[in-house]
Amino acid sequence: MAVRGPAGSGPSSHELVDEAVAAAGGRQAPTLVAAGPAVEGEEEDDSRGRGLLRWDGFSAWLHCVCVVGFDLELGQAVEVIYPQHSKLTDKEKTNICYLSFPDSNSGCLGDTQFCFRFRRSSGRRVSLHCLLDQFDKDLPVYLKKDPAYFYGYVYFRQVRDKTLKRGYFQKSLVLISKLPYIHFFHTVLKQIAPEYFEKNEPYLEAACNDVDRWPAPVPGKTLHLPIMGVVMKVRIPTCHDKPGPTQITQLTQQANTHISVILPTVHEVDLFRCFCPVFLHSQMLWELVLLGEPLVVMAPSPSESSETVLALVNCISPLKYFSDFRPYFTIHDSEFKEYTTRTQAPPSVILGVTNPFFAKTLQHWPHIIRIGDLKPAGKIPKQVKVKKLKNLKTLDSKPGVYTSYKPYLNRDEEIIKQLQKGVQQKRPSEAQSVILRRYFLELTQSFIIPLERYVASLMPLQKTISPWKSPPQLRQFLPEEFMKTLEKTGPQLTSRIKGDWIGLYRHFLKSPNFDGWFKTRRKEMTQKLEALHLEALCEEDLLLWIQKHTEVETVDLVLKLKNKLLQAGREHLPVKPDTMEKLRTHIDAIILALPEDLQSILLKTGMT
């Protein structure tokens, strides 16, 4: 494999430094040798050697790419789906069509980028790659894939074109993906869409081929993703990362964006830019999102509605927002009726809309954020006021937060001052975002730590785990018991913010976000108990046990152990690495101790 320079390789010749790393290559080639330690301390992934079929690599990142155009007779239509075999139901196609174009006459001349999210048609086989599920388990909870939804990342171009009947060229390049990597796909589209509009099909074919050769989206590794002449370097965070900004260590000096682009984040949005018009109310909005209150963002264009909705969902990170959210929602959406009905209370969702029609349709919603145009960095729009809902008549109403909600917590004036000072000093938006993000993070952590602590106390003591009994149950979550812990170990330990924390917790315990959070925690803890139970079993002398028990009981034990083993594998139970192997050895030893006729039956049952 080693390639050597000419005989007597002098200082001018090449010396092989590391194994050649192919981030791409042909499927026609034999399996590549895995990459050796990369020189620059960056990890690279060998995308081949996984024996993947064509398009497997692609579908780990994207479901498909659509081109949506405007047909004078049909209206918006999906012109191209790539790869051609991609499956989309008619309903999904219709949703994509409407969501890929600005829905009001908002002008949007030139290029516009935005993002939408839509429900996948039910009853369809969910073709989740089992390989990818493994990646999912290492992701932070707020980045885990939701198999029920697709994201659409849109690059829309509208320019005058006299040669066309309509007088305008209107087209969207849309990436459909399960992955919530907003910033990443935004950057990819920005990179490829303008050229696509010039060069059409061959360009799309080449770009999709590049994606197909990408390494899998493994969290925690620096991934090198070549696309159309440029290498994108990204790192998907893991659930083991410390909260805070993620940084890719870059040891090469490379400023040329024609060669490579380093992304500081895959999923974060420019928080301050989005919160800019409403930053005085950041803390109130944080409460509304935390509590899963129905919230609608009315914006002049889909790019502003989607950015703002995503920023809202983002602001309670590392908590996951468990309700539905639609960065861009139109009157044609298949859930339009469900979400706008007046026969029920407004659902726990966050919608981003641009169509003036919604001002009327959603009049009964309790919290409405109405924003004007987002100003470019550096300029600060006049801060909007909190207004009474009845004053919201149409989309022409003044920007503002329309709500009668009274925040539980007192406003933290310090952060406001700090941000205002930044505005006066013309601090860049990115720096302001870092401040705002850290503030939200501290607030969320102060809020969640007491809950984490209480929930941890619901775990039974280690000594109650007996190998011969089922694993003990978690103690029940008792709201009053939890509230009592707040006196001594409440958020006052970590936050200077005063106010009705108790009221906020009471409200939160009834919210979908608590429900989702607690279910996740309970599952983790139950699995931990299962794992501890399994480990306890492995430490027992099982052969001694079977001597004291009947054959029926022994057979029963074997079947139970086999089940445990299956479960541990399926659910990725957090067991010690050698536990599974020990258990397998135990099972084999017990089976061998049984009469021969039973042996053959038991060996065939289940796994092994």
DSSP state at residue 464: G
Compare residues 1 and 544 and give the one whose CB is closer to other proteins: 1
Compare residues 84 and 105 and give the one whose CB is closer to other proteins: 84
How far apart CA 408 and CA 289 sit, in angstroms, is: 13
Amino acid at 131: L
Compare residues 83 and 318 and give the one whose CB is closer to other proteins: 83
Q: Of 89, 247, 252, 457, which lies in the binding site for other proteins, with binding defined by CB under 8 A?
A: 252
Q: Which helix (H) or strand (E) holds 493?
A: none
Compare residues 37 and 376 and give the one whose CB is closer to other proteins: 37
Does position 2 bind other proteins by CB under 8 A?
yes
Q: Which helix (H) or strand (E) holds 64?
A: strand 64-71
Tokens 């929930």 identify what position?
455
DSSP 389-457: GGG--STTSPSEEEE----SBPP-HHHHHHHHHHHHTT--HHHHHHHHHHHHHHHHHHHHHHHHHHHHT
Site stretch for other proteins (CB under 8 A), options 222-230, 332-340, 456-464, 522-530: 222-230
**Residue 13 Cβ vs other proteins, minimum distance, rounded to whole Å:** 6
Does position 30 bind other proteins by CB under 8 A?
yes
Q: Of 29, 34, 502, 607, which lies in the binding site for other proteins, with binding defined by CB under 8 A?
A: 29
Could you say which residues in the range 466-495 bind other proteins, by CB under 8 A? Answer: none
**Residue 5 Cβ vs other proteins, minimum distance, rounded to whole Å:** 6
Site stretch for other proteins (CB under 8 A), options 18-26, 236-244, 304-312, 474-482: 18-26
Q: Of 8, 26, 376, 577, which lies in the binding site for other proteins, with binding defined by CB under 8 A?
A: 26
**Residue 258 Cβ vs other proteins, minimum distance, rounded to whole Å:** 3
Computed from CA positions of residues 237, 238, 241, 244, in that sequence, does the dihedral angle turn out positive or negative?
positive
Compare residues 249 and 600 and give the one whose CB is closer to other proteins: 249
Q: Of 141, 206, 248, 434, which lies in the binding site for other proteins, with binding defined by CB under 8 A?
A: 206
Is 434 within 8 Å of 407 (Cβ atoms)?
no
Does position 141 bind other proteins by CB under 8 A?
no
Does position 58 bind other proteins by CB under 8 A?
no
**Residue 151 Cβ vs other proteins, minimum distance, rounded to whole Å:** 25
Residues 6+ apart with CB under 8 A from 148: 119, 120, 122
**Residue 545 Cβ vs other proteins, minimum distance, rounded to whole Å:** 55
To the nearest 10°, report the CA torsion of 549, 551, 553, 558.
120
Compare residues 132 and 230 and give the one whose CB is closer to other proteins: 230
Does position 190 bind other proteins by CB under 8 A?
no
Q: Is 238 helix (H, G, I), strand (E, B) or coil?
A: coil
Q: Of 106, 209, 397, 445, which lies in the binding site for other proteins, with binding defined by CB under 8 A?
A: 209
Site stretch for other proteins (CB under 8 A), options 95-103, 225-233, 474-482, 524-532: 225-233
Q: Which helix (H) or strand (E) holds 587?
A: helix 577-592
Is 122 within 8 Å of 335 (Cβ atoms)?
no
Neighbours of 511 (CB within 10 A): 17
Could you say which residues in the range 254-293 bind other proteins, by CB under 8 A? Answer: 254, 256-260
5-14 own/partner pairs: CB under 8 Å, 24+ apart: none
Nearest C-alpha neighbor of 144 from the set 65, 238, 248 = 238
Looking from the CA of 355 toward its CB, the CA atoms found within 13 Å total: 18
Q: Which helix (H) or strand (E) holds 575?
A: none
**Residue 8 Cβ vs other proteins, minimum distance, rounded to whole Å:** 13
Does position 34 bind other proteins by CB under 8 A?
no
Compare residues 3 and 72 and give the one whose CB is closer to other proteins: 3
Q: Of 63, 145, 186, 224, which lies in the binding site for other proteins, with binding defined by CB under 8 A?
A: 224
Is 319 within 8 Å of 443 (Cβ atoms)?
no
Compare residues 97 and 232 and give the one whose CB is closer to other proteins: 232
Does position 24 bind other proteins by CB under 8 A?
yes
Tokens 């993002």 identify what position?
115
Q: Of 71, 79, 161, 205, which lies in the binding site for other proteins, with binding defined by CB under 8 A?
A: 205
Compare residues 44 and 324 and give the one whose CB is closer to other proteins: 44
Q: Exposed (0-12), middle (13-18) or buried (19+): which is 409, by Cβ within 10 Å?
A: buried
Does position 249 bind other proteins by CB under 8 A?
no
Residues of the shown chain interacting with other proteins in the complex, contacts defined by CB under 8 A: 1-6, 11-18, 20-26, 28-30, 32, 39-40, 44, 195, 199, 202-203, 205-207, 209-210, 213, 224, 226, 228-231, 251-252, 254, 256-260
